[in-house]
């Protein structure tokens, strides 16, 4: 009777490669702390991620949280109190804490699932051909993935064939850039009109960008590293099963 594994380490679809692998729960929780939803996006838990990210953009702008943070860092605490809407701020805190806690908890649980799946050594798919796209295991450069993410948000994820995250990040960041007026500020800066550049920025939207850029560069880079490791595991398993005789004696 053939053994059917209960858990598999990876799933290839036409839009992404989803795999179980060890992650540091503190790192995932940190990205959830920097931007609610990003921790779940790292874990490929897309539904929770999109809900939390959508909620963050709504509640942060409604309560003016970013403006409150900016004025607090400048030492203008009275101005920070005036701009923040306390009615919405109380709602913001609960979901924010849940995002950090749930991303940490999910990472711990998925790490356990990986250890169990790794013992079963289930076969890893290597190629998926579907009407929309073709996905296959391959070696990709982490440096190239990180570089493309730095140049244009989302392209690093498209490079490693994480299409769902890539398209979402691309559209999401373009919207943030539009409302923050960062491209206009860059235009004025290149013309030497620095005062106009400063006045044109919408800081409530601009303060979203540091967290987004740090996340996309890190996530694209680590995704390439993890996919390369998955490629090595699959190839090693295949060669052992097909090319190494069961009675082979290793030299001592």
Looking at residue 111, its pLDDT comes to: 92
Looking at residue 245, its pLDDT comes to: 67
pLDDT range class, residue 198, cuts 50, 70, 90:
confident
Percent of all residues in the chain with a pLDDT value above 90, rounded to a whole number: 35
Percent of all residues in the chain with a pLDDT value above 70, rounded to a whole number: 95
Per-residue pLDDT at 3 exceeds 70: no
Looking at residue 25, its pLDDT comes to: 93
Which tens digits make up the pLDDT trace of 168-181?
Answer: 999 999 999 999 88
Per-residue pLDDT at 242 exceeds 90: no
pLDDT range class, residue 99, cuts 50, 70, 90:
very high
Quick one: average pLDDT of 58-83?
Answer: 84
Which tens digits make up the pLDDT trace of 37-53?
Answer: 999 999 999 999 999 99
Looking at residue 219, its pLDDT comes to: 92
Quick one: average pLDDT of 94-99?
Answer: 90
> What average pLDDT does the chain have?
87
Per-residue pLDDT at 188 exceeds 80: yes
DSSP structure string for the chain:
-----S--SEEE-SS-EEE-----HHHHHHHHHHSTTHHHHHTT-HHHHHHHHHHHHHHHHHHTHHHHHHHHHTT-HHHHHHHS-HHHHHHHHHHHHHHHHHHHHHHHHHHHHHHHHHHHT-----EEE-SS-EEE-----HHHHHHHHHHSTTHHHHHTT-HHHHHHHHHHHHHHHHHHTHHHHHHHHHTT-HHHHHHH--HHHHTTHHHHHHHHHHHHHHHHHHHHHHHHHHHHHHHHHHHS-TTPPPP-
pLDDT range class, residue 129, cuts 50, 70, 90:
confident
**Domain chopping of the chain, boundaries:** 10-243
């Amino acid at each position: 009777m053939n053994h059917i594994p209960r858990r598999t380490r990876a799933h290839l679809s036409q839009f992404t490669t989803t795999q179980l692998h060890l992650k540091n729960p503190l790192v995932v929780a940190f990205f959830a702390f920097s931007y609610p939803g990003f921790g779940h996006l790292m874990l490929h838990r897309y539904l929770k991620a999109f809900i939390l990210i959508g909620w963050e953009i709504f509640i942060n702008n409604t309560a003016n949280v970013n403006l409150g943070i900016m004025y607090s860092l400048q030492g203008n605490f009275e101005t920070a109190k005036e701009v923040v809407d306390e009615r919405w701020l109380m709602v913001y805190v609960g979901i924010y804490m849940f995002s950090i806690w749930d991303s940490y908890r999910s990472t711990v649980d998925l790490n356990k699932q990986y250890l169990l799946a790794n013992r079963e050594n289930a076969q890893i798919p290597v190629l998926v051909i579907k009407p929309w796209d073709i996905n296959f295991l391959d070696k990709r450069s982490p440096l190239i993935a990180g570089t493309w993410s730095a140049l244009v948000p989302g392209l690093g994820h498209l490079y490693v064939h994480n299409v769902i995250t890539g398209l979402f990040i691309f559209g999401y960041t373009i919207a943030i850039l539009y409302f923050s007026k960062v491209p206009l500020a860059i235009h004025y800066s290149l013309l030497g009109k620095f005062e106009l550049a400063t006045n044109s920025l919408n800081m409530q939207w601009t303060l979203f960008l540091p967290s987004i850029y740090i996340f996309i560069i890190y996530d694209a880079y680590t995704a390439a590293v993890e996919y390369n490791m998955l490629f090595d595991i699959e190839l090693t398993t295949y060669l052992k099963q097909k090319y190494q005789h069961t009675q082979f004696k290793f030299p001592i």
